[in-house]
Amino acid sequence: MQIKQQALSQQLKKKLAPLYVLIGQDHYLINEALTTIKSTIKQQHDSDERVFSLQTPEDWATLIEEANSYSLFSDTVLLNLFCDKKSIEAVGKKVMTEYLKTVNTRCFIIIRAPNIPAKQLQWLNTHEQAVVVVSYPLNKEAMKHWIAAELKKNSLLFDHQIPDLIFQYTQGNMLACAQAIEKIALSNEINSQISSKQALDHLSYQCEHSLFELIEACLIGQANNAIQILREAANNKTEATLVLWMMAQEIRILNQLHYLLQQGVGFSSACSQLKIWPQRSGLYQKSVKRLNINVLKHLTHYCHMIDGQIKSNLSSQVWSSLENLALSVCLGTSIGGQCTL
């Protein structure tokens, strides 16, 4: 069976399928689908989750072994798998076909395969035990309806123009929309009435440059571009806290990536575990080569220092410190002698 991501909740209410394959180029929706399926499984079953990637014929053999094994500590096994290839190889198709003939009822399999076209999985549409979930990007009106639904889900009352404002200020980027809604929800009590002014306090105008472009520039190492975006953000009165949060989050991911690689985990598998999108893995590969673990630890401390500046009477220095942070990430060097207040 093949369904759109928007129909997933209804499908899960009817029946949990043994196999879900998540495809499509909207990675936010794919991750939402993954979260929804995992949550439903864990509500109904005590499950032991195992995460790995499908890159080689040996990985498909491992899938069969894991799918037919039992957990010592849980009733069921949840296999959370990632495949970044553009097609399902013959061995993969054979493994899934054979498994669907004799499904282990104590196992659930979720395969994220964003690069595989829906046409290549048509053979799965006839299997009652398999569900292919396609995540198509939403059009403008659908995005606004989605924003309104998310605001309601967070028990917020809002003026009719709020979804338009959020869409405009995030340029329809679903991840940016979700983060904006989360910020608004965290800053207001349940059933609060959100005005346009309150919403604008949490939105950064992104028509010139997006903060996501700042992150990309830092990961690539484009220092001049990063500084230009930061200065525009400062001129547009973007919240320094939001900029710091986004940059600190990327530094944490790079730290975790280094740790996994040191443990002998393959780069693709490490990216899968950290939910790094395949299209962005190249950016992290460049960054992890440029930024060693000692520099990243130093930058983590520096982020704490900037947070202290924001909360103290040194707030006038914040944007200069953020520029130093961005330069350090771009160049792969520590910020000498600036990690104390």
Q: Which amino acid is at 234?
A: A
pLDDT band at 232 (very low <50, low <70, confident <90, very high): confident
Tell me what pLDDT residue 251 has.
94
**230 plus 266 within the same structural domain:** yes
Q: Given a cut of 80, is residue 231 above it in pLDDT?
A: yes
Q: Given a cut of 70, is residue 337 above it in pLDDT?
A: no
341 lies in some domain: no
**150 plus 251 within the same structural domain:** no
338 lies in some domain: no
The string of pLDDT tens digits covering residues 274-287 is: 888 777 888 899 89
- Select from 96, 119, 134 the last residue of a domain: 134
The string of pLDDT tens digits covering residues 32-55 is: 899 999 999 999 988 888 888 888
**15 plus 124 within the same structural domain:** yes
Average pLDDT rounded to a whole number, residues 323-340: 77
Domain count, the chain: 3
Q: Given a cut of 60, is residue 336 above it in pLDDT?
A: no
Tell me what pLDDT residue 238 has.
81
Can you tell me the distance from the alpha carbon of 16 to that of 108, in angstroms, rounded to the nearest whole number? 9
- Select from 203, 233, 248 the last residue of a domain: 203
Can you tell me the distance from the alpha carbon of 113 to that of 162, in angstroms, rounded to the nearest whole number? 34
339 lies in some domain: no
286 lies in some domain: yes
337 lies in some domain: no
Q: What is the CATH number of the domain that holds 242?
A: 1.20.272.10
Structural domain that includes position 147 = 140-203
pLDDT band at 340 (very low <50, low <70, confident <90, very high): very low
- Select from 183, 203, 223 the last residue of a domain: 203
| CA 30 to each of CA 9, 40, 137, 298: distance values in angstroms, whole numbers, following the listed order | 13, 15, 10, 34
**6 plus 121 within the same structural domain:** yes
Tell me what pLDDT residue 252 has.
93
Q: What is the CATH number of the domain that holds 50?
A: 3.40.50.300
**Can you name the residues that pair with 49 across neighbouring β-strands?**
78
**248 plus 324 within the same structural domain:** yes
**185 plus 235 within the same structural domain:** no
Torsion angle in degrees (nearest 10) through CA of 172, 254, 272, 80: -100
277 lies in some domain: yes
Tell me what pLDDT residue 178 has.
85
**310 plus 221 within the same structural domain:** yes
219 lies in some domain: yes
The string of pLDDT tens digits covering residues 58-105 is: 889 989 888 888 766 778 889 999 988 888 889 999 999 999 988 988
CB 67 within 8 A of CB 99: yes
Dihedral class, residue 111 (left if φ above 0, else alpha if ψ from -120 to 50, else beta): beta
Tell me what pLDDT residue 338 has.
42
CB 20 within 8 A of CB 113: no
**238 plus 259 within the same structural domain:** yes
**58 plus 115 within the same structural domain:** yes
**10 plus 76 within the same structural domain:** yes
Tell me what pLDDT residue 301 has.
93
| CA 265 to each of CA 187, 217, 249, 268, 299: distance values in angstroms, whole numbers, following the listed order | 39, 27, 21, 8, 24
Strand order through the sheet with 76-82: 2-4, 130-134, 19-23, 107-112, 76-82, 47-53
CB 264 within 8 A of CB 300: no
**304 plus 222 within the same structural domain:** yes
CB 113 within 8 A of CB 85: yes
Q: What is the CATH number of the domain that holds 154?
A: 1.10.8.60
74 lies in some domain: yes
pLDDT band at 255 (very low <50, low <70, confident <90, very high): very high
* E strand or H helix at 167: helix 162-170
The string of pLDDT tens digits covering residues 10-40 is: 999 999 999 999 998 777 888 889 999 999 9
What tokens were used for 315?
């707030």
**223 plus 192 within the same structural domain:** no
As a three-state string, the secondary structure of 57-108 is HHHHHHHHHHHCCCCCCCCEEEEEEECCCCCCCHHHHHHHHHHHHCCCCCEE
Tell me what pLDDT residue 260 has.
92
Q: Given a cut of 80, is residue 207 above it in pLDDT?
A: no
The string of pLDDT tens digits covering residues 244-254 is: 998 999 999 99
Contacts of 42 (CB under 8 A, 6+ apart): 78
What tokens were used for 289?
């080569």
